Every structure is written in C-alpha cells, then in structure tokens.
Amino acid sequence: MKNPSLKAVFIFLLILIAPLFSSASEVSKPQIQLANLYHKNINIQNYFVSEKLDGVRAYWNGEKLISREGNIYNAPKWFIKNFPNAHLEGELWIARGEFEQLSGIVRRDRDEAGWENIHFMLFDMPKSKEIFEKRLEEMKILATKSNSKYLQVIEQKRFSSHEELTKHLNEIVKNGGEGLMLHRSTALYEAARNDDLLKLKTFEDDEAIVISHIQGKGKYEGVMGALLVENRDKVRFKIGGGFSDIERKSPPQIGSVITYKFFGKTKNNTPRFASFMRIRHDMKPWIKLTEADL
C-alpha cells in the first residue's frame, strides 16, 4: 500500500479481527465418541458400566466448557476455577429427573446461583492415548487433585453376566434413572460410533425436528395436542404423549430438535408408541425447513 494512512487502518483492522478467528478455533465442534446400542454378543466382563445420566453432554478443552455443537456454556469462573488443564468429557448434571431445570440454567447467560447445584460428571478423556481403564484412573486422580466440589467421576462398575447387568438396569430405572452406559476397558478413545461404547435402556430414543403443532381436542382444547415431527430417516409421525401441561401451553418451537422415546418400529419404519422426552437445545436441526416442508 502506497498510502501510509490506509496501511495504518488496514493493520488496525487486522488487530481487531484477529481475536475473532482465534476464538472461533477454540470453540470448534468437538470430535466425540458415539454409542452403539447394547447387544448380548459381547463379553460383559470386558466392560465398565455406569449410569446414563439425565444431563447435558459437555466437553472441557482445558479452558472452556463446550457443548457437542461447539457452543460455549456460560459457566461462572468459580465453577471452572480448579478444573485441570486437560481435555475431559462428561455430563453437566444436577440429579435424576432434573433435566429441565439443568437445561434452563446452562442456557441462561447469568444464573450463577443455579450453577451451585450442577456437577460436571466425568466419563472420558478424549485426547488421552491410554486404554479406558487407565483413562478412568487418570480422571480420578485429576478430579481429586483439582479439589473442586463441582468435578466428579461417574461411578463405574463391573458385572460378570448379562443377567447381573439386567438386574442393575432395572434397579436404576426403578429409582428414576434412564439407563446404562458400557465402556470397553481395553479400548482407545475413538471419535466414532462403535461397540467400544454401548448404551442400554428399557426403551429406545432418537431425535426429530418439529414440523408443526397440532391443536388439541377434548381436555386439550385450546392447547397443543400433538407434534408433527420428522426424524433423520425422513419419517414423519405424530407425538402426542409425554408433555406436561406447561409444555402443551408453550410447546417446542417449529424447527427445533426434540428427543423422543419409542418401543420398536412398524413395517413402515415408524416409531411405535413415541412420546416426548425433552427439547435438545444443544443440537442444531440437520435440515432447514422451507414452506414446502410445512
């Protein structure tokens, strides 16, 4: 540039926008491991078993708490103050049956009092090159050294038979839990979906996008009666159960992602007895709705 004043302005603009690029890289979508469904064609003695917590998945990159979509959770500084300089994966969790309260707290910009009730429950170390059994021991050491009451490791158990596992699952569900997660003890961390990580529930669940609201009739007259949704298989179906009175008055927004549970599928691949579980604020829709979709 021949004009000194223009050159000065250009350099000044570069200084201004540089932090934008660096911060964007810091909150890139984390590469995480995904679970297959549990099946009996495994040696159960090769797995650690933990409760599947009804929480919000989070990734600690050594500096910030990030959602699976790459969004930063606005955790207070005192909450993350003593977290270790390591990549950790876990669930932000309050207690069984408190997902809606938890979701509201982590989505609000300022709710420091609410964070007092939250714990970051660790279940893995994505950047470690060790097998899961050793990663588990390392997480325990890090959590202890941090001296943070907000950082805990999810309890892991071992079982000798599928029958023992089923009994444990039934106890968890009876007491308000969702299900179980199984980690292969000798597996390295791999950001993919495989049998190194399995989930076990008494029902299946999946995500869908809200297409429209269907007005209620009878006792639900004047409020939402059901949702018309579309899942990743491009199957459209109605969900009419699982909603509270408050959720029927203020239903999930059109275009938002929800989680629903079901019990198998029909010949047409439609989920059987689908019912609403929760809104997935941590997930983005995989399709952009147009007028033709509605």
Enumerate residues 6+ apart whose C-beta is below 8 A from 97: 54, 176
Please indicate whether residue 219 is annotated as part of the active site.
no
Query: What is the number of residues in the chain?
Result: 294
Pairing label, strands 224-231, 65-66: unpaired
Q: Is 290 exposed, middle or buried (0-12, 13-18, 19+ CB in 10 A)?
A: exposed
Displacement of CA 217 from its chain's centroid (Å): 34
Q: Please report, in angstroms and rounded to a whole number, the separation of the first and last CA atoms in the chain.
A: 53
Question: Which residue from 130, 159, 128 is spatially nearest to 46, judged by alpha carbons?
Answer: 159
- Taken in order 183, 188, 191, 195, the sign of the CA dihedral is negative
Please provide the DSSP assignment of 205-229 as one string.
EEEEEEEEEEEB-GGGBTSEEEEEE
Q: For residue 129, which phi and psi values (nearest 5 degrees)?
A: -100, 5
Catalytic hit among 7, 29, 52, 157: 52
Question: Would you please indicate which residues are annotated as catalytic (active-site) residues?
Answer: 52
